[in-house]
Amino acid sequence: MAAPKKSVEKEAGQEKAKGSPPEFTKAQELAALRDMLLIRRFEEKAGQLYGMGAIGGFCHLYIGQEAIVVGMQMALKKGDQVITGYRDHGHMLACGMEANGVMAELTGRRGGYSKGKGGSMHMFSKEKNFYGGHGIVGAQVSLGTGLAFANRYRGNDSVSVAYFGDGASNQGQVYESFNMAELWKLPVIYVIENNRYAMGTSVTRSSAQTDFSKRGASFNIPGKQVDGMDVRAVKAAGDEAVAWCRAGKGPYILEMQTYRYRGHSMSDPAKYRTREEVEKVRHDQDPIEQVRNRLLAAKVPEQELKAIDAEVREIVNASADFAQRDLEPDPSELWTDIYR
């Protein structure tokens, strides 16, 4: 018997949250706008370079989900760690990694964060406490739990944030990590970026429990559903989760209800959803437009907002130029960074 059909809005738990999140100051709104625009313009440029053949392999774009990582970074402090899966360029930029280095890695150049040897899914920055970029589905959850264990062992108050998607939520190692994290009260925030479709299958067809905030219930891990398209809601939930972890209470789950505008990767035509569905989310919920509209309503001159966009475009264009002009790695690099 066929499963009953559900509306697009309800199938991902995308009903509008009751009440409004705490308001941002003008400075916070402007900072969030710039950071989200940087990710959006960077990803748009990466898509163009991929289409031109300058980027090879896989390329998973973060367009539409920018509010999640930007809002979470606003809740963190220096020393906190971030780890994620393969849709990772936005996380890198939000952590403060340079656009030049990220784009150069995408094009396989020696100026990239992994010296041109890692590509899209394998970039790291110890200086920015960014621990990847991982191509194996759900692998980062165990590693992020390990980062939290290290923090607990060292006796510091740092928090690790492990990002993963609705598809990865069904992996076995995720639940092993949940169990360990709660047993040892590890300071880790599990951020589930529920963009509704995983690699291309609706959550209603792949998950028996579509309220991902409840995935830790059997381990006594608290969880919360968040409007992942509103950077204010993300930051407020992040503050709550961070406070919980820093207080020594153990892990916390945040389900960010979001939406990716592009396919799973650049090779995905996304025929499993309609163009009308995508356009409706863009029109009604776009995270960048929400901030922009609030700033305009607060009488911030439109020219000031255009100037921010122009500055961001200049950074991104410069990164694309650098990534295409930089030299490829010397063949001798094949023998470095290898365990024997």
Locus of tokens 């890198």: 92
The residue type found at 305 is: L
3-state DSSP call for residue 206?
Answer: helix
Q: What is the pTM of this model?
A: 0.92
Architecture category of domain 26-323 in CATH? 3-Layer(aba) Sandwich (3.40)
Alpha-carbon span 57 to 328, nearest angstrom: 16
Q: Which two tokens stand for residue 178?
A: 């949940």
Sign of the torsion formed by the C-alpha atoms of 306, 68, 117 and 106: negative
Domain boundaries, the chain: 26-323
Mean pLDDT by 10 residues, the chain (340 residues): 42 49 97 98 97 94 98 98 97 98 97 94 95 94 98 97 96 97 98 95 93 97 98 98 98 98 92 94 97 98 98 98 97 86
The reported pLDDT for the residue numbered 8 is 41
293 CB-near residues (< 8 Å, 6+ apart)? none
In contact, 55 and 102? CB cutoff 8 Å: no
145 CB-near residues (< 8 Å, 6+ apart)? 160, 162, 177, 180, 181, 186, 188
The reported pLDDT for the residue numbered 330 is 94
The reported pLDDT for the residue numbered 18 is 57
Alpha-carbon span 197 to 205, nearest angstrom: 9
